Structure 1
């Protein structure tokens, strides 16, 4: 389908520490793409560069052919990039519904969602935001807990709401940083199906960081492998599994499914 996101010679340095070193790869439109590697390999740093939280020391990041390095994070969001974080960052005392509505704030032009009276353009915008939020609630099967404070929910459901907040932005590219971390096998299966549905039903391009290699190999179209900030492998799951450098640095002799 062609490249949606192009990473070219990206390096990131904090003082004398190189988090990323001359990393290049591209992500095709409509695929599930995984970033894997040992802890500290630079995976989250890469997502931070794509989403705008970090600015690379050098290199280029292009979304749909457009350079985005000088864009603020909210501008990248309006272009169609959304991010769910590894560490849950929800408003615990607010309901699921209100957390999802807040996820839409960067797309709003006429004022805050809910509260007050709306006329003309603002009223139409409010209706559109509510439609998008309701679609996320239905998609992630959150109907029964929509008014529940998220801080009272089990961990697995909180992770689902965290992903939902990114989905509420209706992105073309969604970045998922360990969405299954801390989940049991049943919860992982549910989240994996949601990721497949994002890809197949919503036609989103998904970038996934995940340590469960069985999940990665089953879901991914392509995989990039980082180690100490360097790209040591790239390709299909089969190609990555058979890459000697990847096996030595990360996979080892363990069974990956």
Structure 2
């Protein structure tokens, strides 16, 4: 089994509060992996640790066999890890295109002026990065709103742009924190299709936090369940639906799918 990410005995503590408590699981390259649990269970804290925003108190995070627990977020991005946030973190007055280009420019290697002085090596880089941004715009079906200021868009489209900015980095591993929150059913169905295509067409490994259990069970290859910072279940969707600890703490007898 080819694991792209391994979490081992990881804990995160804020004063006397343990946000994560000795959590271990692994994620297989190319799969859709979901992280579920009640509000406050530690799901977003886990993504913050993987992306480098939080430093775990103890434990290990290995990406493609390399320990990254002490690595800065920017260096994790260069390794192929990207993150879309639950709370939209876009530049509202900038266009969809410019938001995606801004995210992509974090990978520029030609110096601090390369974003505005397109000569020589920087010019070639800009063409390459612009091509990737255009691929993401087409993939997420954003062509008609490419020049629209993000702040004027409906919430569902803003969420799609948030995912697009992470996808523009060309990640091998993308972390999606509730990408369907606040969406109606048709918007959720569309986002689910995009996530499947990330997995099947782009061969991107997806880590998904989502509260809609129907979507989680239909999309996921494996699932980890957190409750009060502890991992109380890990396995296939079928395993999770039969796990009595998970049923008691989160799913409930009446909502088993």
Normalized against structure 1, the TM-score is what?
0.98
Q: CA deviation at 1:114?
A: 5.2
Q: CA deviation at 1:37?
A: 0.3
Considering only aligned residues, what root-mean-square deviation do their CA atoms show, in Å? 1.0
Q: Is the aligned partner of 1:62 residue 2:76?
A: no
Report the counterpart of residue 218 of structure 2 in structure 1: 218
Partners of 1:21 and 1:4 in 2: CA distance: 22
Q: CA deviation at 1:196?
A: 0.2
CA offset digits 1:114-149 (Å, max 9, x no partner): 544x22211110111100100000000000000000
Secondary structure in 2 matching 1:171: coil
Q: Is the aligned partner of 1:187 residue 2:187?
A: yes
Q: CA deviation at 1:109?
A: 1.2
Report the counterpart of residue 244 of structure 2 in structure 1: 244
Structure 2: gaps of 5 or more residues: none
Secondary structure in 2 matching 1:71: coil
Tell me: CA distance 1:256–1:197, structure 2 relative to 1, closer, same or farther (3 Å). Answer: farther
- Residues 51, 83 of structure 2: 8 Å contact kept: yes
Report the counterpart of residue 26 of structure 1 in structure 2: 26
Segment drifting more, 100-109 vs 10-19: 100-109
Structure 1: gaps of 5 or more residues: none
Partners of 1:119 and 1:105 in 2: CA distance: 15
Q: CA deviation at 1:106?
A: 1.8
Report the counterpart of residue 208 of structure 2 in structure 1: 208
Mapping for residues 67-146 of structure 1, pairs under 5 Å:
67-110=67-110, 111=112, 115-116=116-117, 118-146=118-146
- Residues 32, 222 of structure 1: 8 Å contact kept: yes
Partners of 1:92 and 1:127 in 2: CA distance: 25
Partners of 1:125 and 1:115 in 2: CA distance: 12
Q: CA deviation at 1:253?
A: 1.8
- Residues 179, 210 of structure 1: 8 Å contact kept: yes
Q: How many residues align?
A: 256
Partners of 1:228 and 1:245 in 2: CA distance: 13
Q: CA deviation at 1:104?
A: 1.1
Q: CA deviation at 1:256?
A: 4.5
